[in-house]
Amino acid sequence: MTTSLNDRIAKLIRETGPIPVSVYMQLCLHDPRQGYYSQGEGLGRDFITAPEISQVFGELIGLWCAHEWRSIGAPDPFRLVELGPGRGVLMADVLRATRAISDFHDAADLTLVEASPALRRAQIDRLKPTELTHINTIEAIPDGPILLIANEFLDCLPVRQFIRDTEQWRERVVGLSDANELVFGLSDTVPALDNTPDNAQQFEMRPSLVAIVDALAQRFANHPGRALFIDYGPADAAPDDTLRAYKNGAQISPLETPGDADLTSDVDFADLKRIALAQGLEIHGPIAQGDFLLALGAAQRAEALIRANPKEAEATADAVHRLVDSASMGVRFQAIAISSPNLPPPAGF
């Protein structure tokens, strides 16, 4: 019988000591055999994303891409990049919505940043016959003009958590109880931290945001480009303890079934903005997803779909409403654009 990921993580902790939450997250999501994304079967079952709710989401982002391609000077060729395309639904809608814009299509070299072999296969299948290149990291995007999109990508990058223990900061770790069960605890050592919030008892930090912005800054140093990130998280407050796990659409403990549940936490948009501005990049947003999609014409697109297929009128209207409504995804999700300097403002912001 194969050893479960839970037991393999427990063995690692017994041998080397408690591990930071970020390491736990990395193992749960990306263990080559038993990681959540490596297995690739949970998407659509454990959680559902905007492109899977309504085609309108990807269609509007497709038109956004074509528009922004012109604002960066219509370079030919350019890289059309998606980070973490999941089952490829967003990119399929992007390509379909822009099919008639043939100069955009002809110029685009499709490049997908995807860690999971199973999801790579799903993306190739869905996007056939479009040729595409898979790469492992954003740093591997070749030099040249790029347009990049990423929906619900940043939230699954490993997060570190810190808690104030009397006067010292400690890092939250995953260790073992006496009964050999995974439990949260605090590091023995005091982590070296540059910026700590003054009045908080806890905070989260996502080291990979710096790496992502650095990679964009390098790409944008010699060529124009623009990146659009959509994710959930507060627009201006720093997340404190937002690590969550989802399985079969329900929230469970992050320690319950390592590798079989999606692990996620809020994106710190204020931090992302600060890092990008410090690199001399231009920022638009974050703005609420609802406002962004409505500005791009979500209501008109929904009406057109309903006219074309009146039988599905209610389902279409409900799905689009879910994307834009403030009580649903409209405000909890934010859009932010990071651009090379001296471009006109992006559509929708």
**What residues line the site for ligand SAH (CB under 6 A)?**
37, 49, 51-52, 84-86, 89-90, 113-116, 119, 151-153, 156
Among 53, 128, 119, CA closest to 90: 53
| Residue closer to ligand SAH (CB basis): 37 or 69 | 37
Angle at the Cα of 231 (from 226 to 233), degrees rounded to 5? 125
Among 245, 251, 252, 249, CA closest to 28: 245
Query: What letter does residue 144 receive in the DSSP assignment?
Result: S
Two structure tokens written together for 171:
């890092």
CB of 341 to ligand SAH, least distance (A): 27
CB of 165 to ligand SAH, least distance (A): 30
CB of 89 to ligand SAH, least distance (A): 6
| Residue closer to ligand SAH (CB basis): 72 or 113 | 113
Give the position of tokens 């990395």.
26
Query: What letter does residue 137 receive in the DSSP assignment?
Result: -
CB of 184 to ligand SAH, least distance (A): 22
Which residue is nearest to ligand SAH, using beta carbons? Answer: 84
CB of 87 to ligand SAH, least distance (A): 6
| Residue closer to ligand SAH (CB basis): 94 or 119 | 119
- Positive or negative, the CA dihedral 79, 85, 91, 92 is positive
| Residue closer to ligand SAH (CB basis): 153 or 203 | 153
Q: Which of 68-82 are b and which e, b meaning 16 or more Cβ less than 10 Å from the residue's Cβ?
A: bbebbeebeebbbbb
Distance CA 163, CA 14 (A): 23
| Residue closer to ligand SAH (CB basis): 147 or 156 | 156
